[in-house]
Amino acid sequence: MREERQGCAGLLLAAVGAVVAVLVWAPRARVSVHGGFEGMHRDLSVLYVDLPLIAAGGALVPLAAWLLGLRTLRRPWLAAVIAAGALGLGIWGLLSWWTPYERPEFTG
């Protein structure tokens, strides 16, 4: 694989990783954006704090795995498999670890 194509493949993996991470993150953040019952618990900080971090992590994790796999193994298809596995592990970690704060609906 030529170097230009390898670079384009790495950028494509980064873009796909960012989109997939945001799409997986969005249903959990919906409660904070909509506010739950009558919009009382709205927390828009998930949009300007968490969203950029999730997108950056989704882009950087597969890109780093791609570059590391390409440099050590020198096989682009194997580096792509490693990058996809790293993205899968990153998404699994995101789903198992990150949950937005939800205040109780009724406290009285």
Q: How confident is the model over 22-38, as pLDDT tens digits? A: 999 998 888 778 776 66
pTM of the predicted model over 0.85: no
Q: What is the pLDDT of residue 37?
A: 64
Q: What is the pLDDT of residue 60?
A: 96
Q: How confident is the model over 43-82, as pLDDT tens digits? A: 888 889 989 999 999 999 999 999 999 999 989 999 999 9
Work out the number of other CB atoms within 10 angstroms of the CB of residue 24: 17
Q: Say if residues 76 and 6 touch (Cβ distance below 8 Å).
A: yes
Tokens of 31: 């409660």
Distance CA 39, CA 34 (A): 6
